[in-house]
Structure 1
Amino acid sequence: MSTTIDLAVRDDDLGLPDRIARFPFPFTRDTYRYSTNVEPAGSPVATAAGGWGRHPVDIDGHYLDDLTERERILGADPTRFQSLPHMEIAQWDAMVTLMRMLADAYPETFALERDGEARLFVNRALGLEQSFVFGDRSTLPDPPLRFIGRHLQEDVVLLDQREGALWGDAGLVTFAADWSLRFDVGMSFRQIHGPVPRVHTEGVIPRAEQFLMGLQAGQCYRRTNWSLSVDRRLDQSTETYPEWGRDRRLLAEGPLEDVGRRLHLRVEVQHLVRLGVSGAIMFLIRTHLLSFEDIARVPEWSGRLYSVLDELPDDMADYKGIMRTRGPGLRWLRTYGGVRS
């Protein structure tokens, strides 16, 4: 397999590995509450360790491993890909848009060329070339959304807009954080966010939906979300809860010195794009995981993470599934992470 993507772990000018320097640390203050926290995409975000956010699609040193993991998950559970019949054109629209994004962000690795009706997509990292005709399913080996999922680390959800609302009617989601695409497909935007505490009384979800429905073709915005994970496990879907749910209890009951290595801050960088052909909204979810040990290498991060976890209200901590792991995380940061409470 040949690749022109720099997949090596390297140190930046601060002496930090790439996984730390490029991590999208999500906290800008010592407290956290739900908000729309949406901003235009495409501009770099500077952090205490480096920076992130130059492109809507992001490829890093986990690229090949993450794609292998996605194929394993889909092989075991094909229902992680869902699409209602009326979303066919939206699938094609999303696929071509993502191909362009990859080619624009990493032209040394990806290309999208056109010759009349035929188009050619090239992924040099995987040694793959695929010609296709937009809208002709016979020219692809998989449905369009399933096909492009083989080439990027992001999960993808497609929102249809009708009846004055948004509906989650298609998606390829293998790295969910305690939710299920199979359960949510066909639900409205407000139904999908029904279990989230505080956001309805504070009007966050209606404001977010109105904002999204106002997006114009080609506009792209981003936001972040976060939780805690035990180990570097991307797949924490509802379907696999028996496999990962007990790890929270075992971590809490285990040796404190293991917490720094095993407990991770899990951050989703979410991009929202209005597609030009179908009018659908493409929701990209890129999951990043960084251990508490690595976070402690950036004192500004470890102190802020401690403050956020310590102050977070219990109902929000419960929804995020961190009630068992928050305490051990705080104790580890005090004992080993250089934080003075």
Structure 2
Amino acid sequence: MNPPSSVEITDNYQKEIELKRSLLQHHTSRCFHAFPHTKQAQWEALELVIEHLTTFYPAHFSIKKEGDIWTFENKILDEKVTFCFGDDSEMEHPLNFIGRHVQEDLILMLQKDSDLFLDAGQLCFPANWSIAFNHGMSFRDLHFPIPGFKEEGLDERILRFLLKLEAGNPWWRKNWSLMAGNRLDTSLETFAEWGKLRGQVTADNAGHLVHVRVEVQKLFRLPGTHSILFTIHTHLLSLEKLIANPAWHRQFYQIIKELPASIAEYKGISLYRDSVLAYLEKYMERKG
């Protein structure tokens, strides 16, 4: 991972932070959940994220420490906050506080009995799942809906890998899906609002209506609590922008064409896959 940062600041920062804060204000129960026993892990996650913000983006963020009294400054938003680090009476949910300053969704997985549990999280931009529903679930239960995940033994192999994750040695991956529309908040609770667009995709409008949704997922072991901070940064790219790169165009066409039916259904692509393929084929022919 280069740089080894849990977060990334992009040109969409202010727009996405504004959206995040609006969702947190108006839909708190949909966007944040945390068990009381996660307080120490939340403070540790806050400390790590602040360290990364101030180290990798010093022009935009700063931290001043006078013992336990910390002053955090977000220069992009012109905000300065002073708090007592570790004082729960002063800051009820440290994870929810620092999450209001980053574009990523922040998930805390606590380790118990050789398993990981989603015990806290700020989730504003989910890809068709719900932290209100999944809060408290084990790693295995969280991933049970993925086709072949249990049957092929992936659940046990990945869990063993994550349990061995060491502090100072973070891991990252990219996950992709397709979506009709360009909405970041595709929570399970709001499916009726955005899911209907799937039925409106045609070969003619797919270029601007359909977007590739890429999640940059990073995992950091927190040494003090031995929990794992899981950050998710979501990026959207329209098909018409994707096909501007001929190599991406060809590669993506093959991926969609060869995608197993079970995976296409899981990713929510089945209803409009043929329209996407028709769009990709049409412009491949034009490019000759």
Category of TM-score, reference length = shorter chain: over 0.9
2:107 is the counterpart of 1:144: no
CA distance in 1, matches of 2:68, 2:32: 27
2:166 is the counterpart of 1:216: yes
Q: Percent same amino acid among aligned pairs? A: 38
CA distance in 1, matches of 2:152, 2:262: 15
- 1:56·1:271 contact (CA, 8 Å) conserved in 2? yes
**One-letter amino acid of the counterpart of residue 2, structure 2:** G
Show the 5 A alignment for 1:1-341. Answer: 41-42=1-2, 55-79=5-29, 80-140=31-91, 143-252=93-202, 256-336=203-283
CA distance in 1, matches of 2:35, 2:174: 27
CA distance in 1, matches of 2:102, 2:76: 11
The 3-state SS of whatever aligns with 2:144 is coil
The 3-state SS of whatever aligns with 2:52 is helix
How much does 1:336 deviate? Answer: 2.8
How much does 1:241 deviate? Answer: 0.4
Structure 2: stretches of 5+ with no match in the other structure: none
**One-letter amino acid of the counterpart of residue 223, structure 1:** R
Relative to structure 1, is the Cα distance of residues 322 and 272 closer, same or farther in structure 2, using a 3 angstrom cutoff?
same
CA distance in 2, matches of 1:105, 1:263: 33
**One-letter amino acid of the counterpart of residue 273, structure 1:** F
How much does 1:118 deviate? Answer: 1.2
Structure 1: stretches of 5+ with no match in the other structure: 1-40, 44-53
TM-score normalized with structure 2 length: 0.95
- 1:310·1:330 contact (CA, 8 Å) conserved in 2? yes
CA distance in 2, matches of 1:66, 1:340: 35
Runs of 4+ in 1 over 2 A off after TM superposition: 137-140, 336-341
Per-residue deviation, residues 12-34 of structure 1 (Å, max 9, x unmatched):
xxxxxxxxxxxxxxxxxxxxxxx
The 3-state SS of whatever aligns with 1:283 is strand
CA distance in 1, matches of 2:226, 2:6: 18
Bigger share in helix = 2
CA distance in 1, matches of 2:146, 2:181: 25
CA distance in 2, matches of 1:337, 1:189: 41
State the aligned residue count.
287
- 1:156·1:173 contact (CA, 8 Å) conserved in 2? yes
Per-residue deviation, residues 155-209 of structure 1 (Å, max 9, x unmatched):
0110010111111100000100011101001110001111110121222121111
How much does 1:75 deviate? Answer: 2.3
**One-letter amino acid of the counterpart of residue 303, structure 1:** R
| Superposition CA RMSD, Å | 1.6
